[in-house]
Amino acid sequence: MDTEVVEAVALSPPGGVNRASRPERMLASELLTAHMKGIDVLRGAAVLAVVVFHGMAYHAPAVEWGHPIANAIYGLTAWGWLGVNLFFVISGFLITGILDDTLQRQNFYKRFYIRRALRILPAYVAVLFLAWATGFVTPNYVGISLLFLANMPGLFLRHGYLFYGPFWSLAVEEQFYLLWPMMYRKLRRRGMLVSSLALLVICPVLRGLSFAHVLHTGDALSKTWMVGDNLAMGAMLAILLRWPGMTVARVAALGWTQLAAGIVGLVGLFGAGRMGSEDVLRNSLGLSCFLLICSSAVVWMLCVFRERALPRWLNGMVFLSNISYGLYLIHLLLLQIYDRAFGEGFTHDRGLLLLRFVVANGVAVGVAMASRRWFEDPILRLKGRIAAAR
């Protein structure tokens, strides 16, 4: 995930940013700098949101904090699951950029799939094995997870199973990795822009039909054909940034438009009382509005931090971004191990809840740091050998 930033921009058109260029004439592709620091910030924020969600309101929605403001802030942690959707937008943006930049290179498919495998599989398989060894997933679930079908176990497993939450989103990403390169090679930039726009229309309709009980597909928010617009939103932005003649001014205008549309849509749904967890409009149009805000965030992070240094208070987000993949994979498993050891008294005790959060996630951060340094990075360095052997 995080290495995709450098990989994408390293393959982008050369030249860098022309500091003398006027903003209205500067090409949007010049936003793709050698290190897109703003993307690191967004990825760090996304993984933090998910970690806070699982560590707080997800398992303990009834905890009281003794003050209305504190209770309201705690209630916001129940929305942390949206960090996964931000992850999808970022992934769609980065992966589509890589595909566009390498489309004319030899061994297009081989290079892409080997690089993705080196990034995703080692830590994924390690955590999957650990989840099975500790009894938190069943063998049949391990099987479909190895086939990257963990986002639809109900469609394939007739008997009971135990699942592990983070794997569903990895399944969506892997299915995207399998299909998107073949589509891009066939349809090219214009065709993929049309395909992305089509997904932005079709997926909300399918989600709406599912929550209206017209379609019966189980969890509608985990099926690839229901959340494909998340990835398509980022893909569309990646294509537009590389579109001939596209300027920074036009991309900035797009960012403002997306931000305004997303906020107006969400405020309208909230004002109409359509934000319930099973509401049709919330889960169809509401999620689309959030994706617009995510896309605008990518635009503004690219524009603001194109040349400007990150303020120190954002360094924590960059740190989390660097370990985001390992942290995302392991944090929930360590929470479950903690609960097995110490019980679930935290569900109504804020002191125990905070202790659980700090201990389990502190260990998760340590494990993710160690994994990145001594497990993931050595494997990632093999990508250089592959590039040299092309």
Written as tens digits, the pLDDT of the chain (390 aa) is 455 654 554 444 434 444 445 556 788 899 987 689 999 999 999 999 999 999 999 999 989 999 999 999 999 999 999 999 999 999 999 999 999 999 988 899 999 999 999 999 999 999 999 999 999 999 999 999 999 999 999 888 888 899 999 999 999 999 999 999 999 999 999 999 999 999 999 999 999 999 999 988 778 899 999 999 999 999 999 999 999 999 999 999 999 999 999 999 999 999 999 888 899 999 999 999 999 999 999 999 999 998 888 999 999 999 999 999 999 999 999 999 999 999 999 999 999 999 999 999 999 999 999 999 999 999 998 876 765 555
User: What pLDDT shows up at residue 23?
Assistant: 56
User: What pLDDT shows up at residue 366?
Assistant: 99
Burial profile 354-367: b = 16 or more Cβ within 10 angstroms, e = fewer: eebbeebbebbbeb
User: What pLDDT shows up at residue 162?
Assistant: 94
User: What pLDDT shows up at residue 276?
Assistant: 86
With left for phi above 0 and alpha for psi between -120 and 50, is residue 118 left, alpha or beta? alpha
User: What pLDDT shows up at residue 10?
Assistant: 44
User: What pLDDT shows up at residue 158?
Assistant: 80
Which own/partner pairs from 241-245 qualify as long-range (CB within 8 Å, at least 24 positions apart)? Answer: 241/28, 241/29, 241/31, 241/32, 241/97, 241/302, 242/12, 242/28, 242/29, 242/97, 242/100, 242/101, 242/189, 243/28, 243/189, 245/27
Q: What is the pTM of this model?
A: 0.93
Answer for the pair 299, 226: CB distance below 8 angstroms, yes or no: no
CA distances from 129 to 64, 195, 199, 369 (A): 37, 37, 34, 19
User: What pLDDT shows up at residue 296?
Assistant: 98
Answer for the pair 250, 258: CB distance below 8 angstroms, yes or no: no
User: What pLDDT shows up at residue 284?
Assistant: 95
User: What pLDDT shows up at residue 33?
Assistant: 76
User: What pLDDT shows up at residue 37?
Assistant: 92
User: What pLDDT shows up at residue 167?
Assistant: 98
User: What pLDDT shows up at residue 7?
Assistant: 56
User: What pLDDT shows up at residue 19?
Assistant: 45
